[in-house]
Chain A
Amino acid sequence: MATMVQGIRMALHYGERHLDLKDIFGQDAGPPLGGVFTATQGLKTAWNTPLDERGIVGTAIGIAMTGQRCVGEIQFADYIFNTIDLLKLAGNNLWCSHGQFPLPLVLMTPSGAGIHGSIYHSHSFDSWAVRLAGWKVVCPSNALDAYGLMISAILDPNPVLYLKPKALLRVKSKDKIPGEPEDEKELKKRIDAPIGSARENWKPNWPLLQEYKVPIGKGKIVQEGEDLTLISFGRSFYLCEQAIKNLKDVSVELIDLRSLYPYDWKLIKSSFQKTRRALIVNEDTEVANFAEHLAYRMVQEGFYHLLAPPSVLSGKQVPGVGLNPNLESATVPQVSDIQKEIQKLIADSW
């Protein structure tokens, strides 16, 4: 099965081949590297930019202003912060122009911890991102969703921020991407660039991929349960899956949010009204965290359904994620933290 990064790459290939995607660009996005995580390797329309995040975002806006589709990449979400006013402008371009200038662009960036990336390769951006009105924000947790969300993002007429959970980029899918070869070794041989000088004349041999869309704004119940709704996305979702694997005596309903904005409130609401308990997990810092908005809404709309206060497990409000594993695990939620919080919610129910 394909890894997530292969899934993203195949979706981008599908985009440039079938969806009129004209440009994929960023620092090291073009040949020879094809992205530091290889998400853009072998793509016909991928090109290298100067090391200039503002230029990357500005260029994406300028291309999209003409109606042409593009995908820009910021090499790590930690480096997106100096573009925040441009992101705000991209989000308000349609609104400010009274509906006259839509921006069909995708900006993708690896986000979050889990690779011991230290202070400037571990930060999350999801809670910052959802405050940028006019953007759609997505974050997959597996290769198939990564493929389907990218295709939806490319087709969307609005700016879409595509957060790549960097710790999951090498994780293999459980589900096959439509058109993917049966043998994963064959896939690797066909679309992964060789190391060294062999790369110079290498060209990918793309499989015949098919369109598969994950609608933006739609979450997914991955496991049904009765006692508690566990909501997450990206790497945290992966940890949630691990956390509930061996959990005894608690029936957890697990939701992969996939889209952070717009988000699937109908799915969330129907689930927590059934289970009457909810825990939301992500890695971004805890104060004014996006999950607090969901918890607030659960209280506002479901107070009398709840057996316990909805809970949020997120990154500590510290300036960065420290390098040493002890520091990283103390900063962003771990499997054991999720398990403890689930038990606490069950125990604390009234």
Chain B
Amino acid sequence: MTKQLSLSKEQLIKIYDLMVKARVTEERLIHIYKQGLGYFWIGGPGEEAFAVPLGLLIDKGRGINKDWLYLHYRGLPTLIAMGLSMKEAFRTVLNKATDQSSGGRNFVNHYSLPQWNVAPVTSVIGVQYSMAIGTAYAQSRTKDSKSLTVVTGGDAGSHEGDFATCLIWSSRPKKELPLLITVQNNQWGISTSYANQHGSKSIADRARAFQIESYVIDGNDPVESYHQLSQAIQNIRKNRRPVFIEAKVSRLYGHSSASGANYVKEEECCVKKFESFLIKEKLLTKKQSEEIWFNYKEEAKKTQREVMKEEDPQGNTIWNYIYDKGENADWRKF
């Protein structure tokens, strides 16, 4: 754990608190799936130490002058840090009509939140790297704007051509984009290991080839993540150039429910590690940590019960929102 404690005690506890909240939320999502109430689970337990600091550093809001996020489907901890409620998360796994992101159409943890410039998360691996450049481009020509676009993805996603697209388009001479490009490297693409597929030493090396300022960091260390992200974001706001960060993270419950969604003991748990660190440094007591876990678990149980009572979407709504402003898209009615 990074010893450089330039973060205040309050900041450290806040990060820890949000990491626990994100973990409890994810574990409850898995629980809901295993109760047979959801059809699928995929998410970000193991990425909290990187994703929570990211969420805290975002200048959140709506419009071109606020930051934009192109997240992968493991981005819940970032959104929890930005203020997403457990309720919104549970609505996705229970595919409720009340789910703001998709009204019960899309998978769990596929968020779409225009109030915070969170572009729709897709199941298609890597495409967010191509889309993010368009938004960063629009920001780049917005006068006096300090806003940036953040794109996240996994190491397997970096195999896709869209990742190369992102590196090429964001680093064109004199047309550099205010884009924070990140890869959360958990060493796996479902069942295929990183080691078997990458000839390069690091993914960051690929970004360096485009003269993009690049870092490889311990994504299981929230303090290191906070500092590196903070520095990168400040650089982008000021210099309007891309920065690349490869964060080494864990995948604590496997790929998804398709691979069982069971806890993987061999992986390092960033929340427990950070908790031990805070207790050892006397910034947190054991009792306090237990209370935080207990309170979030109780909130999760209560919230699940509430969301389960909410309405399901109706079949006759499938034609809604194919075209904007209520325009008909059903050929039977042309």
Q: Which residues of A contact B (CB under 8 A)?
A: 22-23, 49-50, 52, 54-55, 57-66, 68, 70, 85-86, 89, 93-102, 133-134, 136, 157-158, 217, 261-266, 293, 297
Q: Do residues B322 and A59 form an inter-chain contact, with CB atoms below 8 A?
A: no
Check A62 against B133 for contact (C-beta < 8 Å). Answer: yes
In the complex, the answer to whether A101 meets B138 with C-beta atoms within 8 Å is no
**B138, A97: Cβ atoms under 8 Å?**
no
Q: Could you say which of B64, B127, B149, B321 contacts A58, with CB atoms under 8 Å apart?
A: B127
Does A58 contact B133, Cβ atoms closer than 8 Å?
yes
A100 with B334: CB separation less than 8 A: no
Which residues of B are found within 8 Å of A297, using beta-carbon distances?
331
Please give me the residue from chain B that is nearest to A259 by CB atom. B334
Q: Which residues of A contact B149 (CB under 8 A)?
A: 62
- Contact partner of A94 among B100, B161, B321, CB < 8 A? B321
B64-A98 in contact (CB<8A): no
Within the complex, the shortest CB–CB distance from B221 to chain A, in Å, comes to 31
- Cβ–Cβ contact B331 & A68, under 8 A: no
| Neighbour of B165 across the interface among A58, A68, A158, A262, CB < 8 A | A58
8 closest pairs, A vs B, by CB?
A: A62-B134, A58-B130, A59-B134, A97-B112, A99-B321, A98-B103, A157-B324, A265-B334
| Residue among B324, B325, B329 making CB contact with A262, cutoff 8 Å | B329
* Also in contact, A133 and B329, with CB within 8 A (given A95-B105, A99-B321): yes
Nearest B residue to A105, CB-CB = B134
Q: Mark B297-323, 1 if CB is under 8 A from A, else 0.
A: 000000000000000000000001111
Whether B131 is near chain A, meaning CB under 8 Å from some CB there, is: yes
Q: Which residue of A55, A85, A93, A263 is within 8 Å of B169 (Cβ)?
A: A55
Q: Which residues of chain A are near B109, meaning CB under 8 Å?
A: none
State whether A263 touches B331 (Cβ < 8 A): yes
Q: For B100, list chain A residues within 8 Å (CB).
A: 98, 100
Taking a contact as CB atoms closer than 8 A, the residue among A22, A23, A133 that contacts B322 in the complex is A133
1/0 per residue, CB under 8 A from A, across B120-160: the answer is 10101001011111111111000000000100000000000
How distant is B59 from chain A, measured CB to nearest CB, in Å? 15
Pair B64/A264 contact, Cβ less than 8 Å:
no
State how many angstroms separate the Cβ of A93 from the closest Cβ of chain B: 6
Q: Give the interface size bracket for B toward A.
A: 35 or more
- Say whether, besides A98-B112, A134-B329, A89 and B169 are in contact (CB < 8 Å): no
Q: Which B residues between 158 and 174 are near A, CB-CB below 8 angstroms?
A: 161-162, 165, 168-169, 172
On whether the beta carbons of B134 and A96 are closer than 8 Å, the reply is no
Instruction: Let me know if A65 and B119 touch, CB within 8 A.
Output: yes
Among the listed B64, B101, B129, B334, which residue makes an inter-chain contact with A217, where contact means beta carbons less than 8 Å apart?
B334
Residue among A23, A52, A102, A266 facing the most chain B CB atoms (10 A cut-off): A52
Asked whether any CB of chain A lies closer than 8 Å to the CB of B260, the reply is no
The interface bits of chain B over 88-107 (1 if a CB of A lies within 8 angstroms of the residue's CB, else 0) are: 00000000000111110110
Q: Would you give the shortest CB distance from B143 to chain A, in whole angstroms?
A: 13
Please report the C-alpha to C-alpha distance between residue A99 and residue B114 in the assembled complex, in whole angstroms.
10
Report yes or no: A57 in contact with B101, Cβ–Cβ below 8 A.
no
Shortest beta-carbon distance, A50 to chain B, in Å?
Answer: 5
Q: Contacts of A262 on B, CB cut-off 8 Å? A: 328-329, 331, 334
B68 within 8 A of A: yes
A66 smallest CB distance to B (angstroms): 5
Instruction: Tell me which of B63, B165, B321 contacts A55 (CB under 8 A).
Output: B165
Chain A residues lying within 8 Å of B320, measured Cβ to Cβ, are 95, 99
A102-B133 Cα distance, complex, nearest whole Å: 18
Chain B's closest residue to A59 (CB) is B134
Given A133-B329, A157-B325, A66-B138 contact (CB < 8 Å): yes
Contact A264-B334, Cβ < 8 Å, known A98-B100, A99-B321: yes
9 new A-B contacts at CB < 8 Å, known A61-B130, A98-B321, A99-B324 = A52-B168, A58-B129, A59-B134, A93-B120, A96-B110, A97-B112, A98-B103, A158-B324, A265-B334
What 1/0 mask marks residues of chain B from 31 to 68 whose CB sits below 8 Å from any chain A CB?
00000000000000000000000000000000110001
A66–B114 alpha-carbon span in the complex (Å):
10
Bound complex: CA A63 to CA B138 (Å): 6
CB contact under 8 A between A66 and B64, given known A85-B127, A100-B112: yes
